[in-house]
Amino acid sequence: MLPICCAFFCIMSVTTNSLQASGQEEYDVNSPLVNDIAAKLSMEDHSEHDIATCTTKQRYYEDIIELLQEGYSEDEILDYYVDAFGEQALRAPKKTGFSIVAWTAPFVVLSFAGAGIFLRLKNTMAATETEVGEAGENTLDSAEKEVLSSYIEEERKKYY
């Protein structure tokens, strides 16, 4: 029995040393790197589901673990999914090229449109106030003159 235990121990230590020497890690569902990569993937809208009950999410985790054990890096795995499913495979778009333009353009357009509307209203209000002010002075003067002249005529008719 002792020789069998010694042989088993020697085989296990050699296997462990060869795995450590080759630089390969054993990944599982709880590995931080696996979780980091999975957090960046949309997983066909299953990313918020529980891994214990969602077979789609389980399949993604298994694929990530398999790719990591084959030696793929995080960026290579993300590129693999982008090649397979397009940009919608990611939870957040890449911050390069057309994606950055597509995400920032609406805010830029709304800002310019808001500034244009503000300036247009400001100029319209200023022009309207100027017209009302000029017309108001002339109208008030002529109206006051009419009221005053009619009042004077009434008073003159009473006494003369």
In the chain, what are the domain boundaries? 26-92, 95-160
What is the C-alpha separation between 28 and 35, in angstroms, rounded?
A: 9
Residues 50-75: pLDDT tens digits? 888 889 989 999 999 999 999 999 99
What dihedral do alpha carbons 76, 78, 81, 82 form, nearest 10°? -100
Q: Tell me: the pLDDT tens digits for 86-100?
A: 888 988 877 788 888
| 3-state DSSP assignment of residue 96 | coil
Provide the 3-class DSSP secondary structure of residue 41.
strand
Q: Is residue 9 over pLDDT 70? A: no
Cβ atoms of 51 and 29 within 8 Å: the answer is yes
For the entire predicted model, the pTM comes to 0.52
Q: How confident is the model at residue 21 (pLDDT cuts 50, 70, 90)?
A: very low
Nearest to 70 by CA among 15, 37, 27: 27
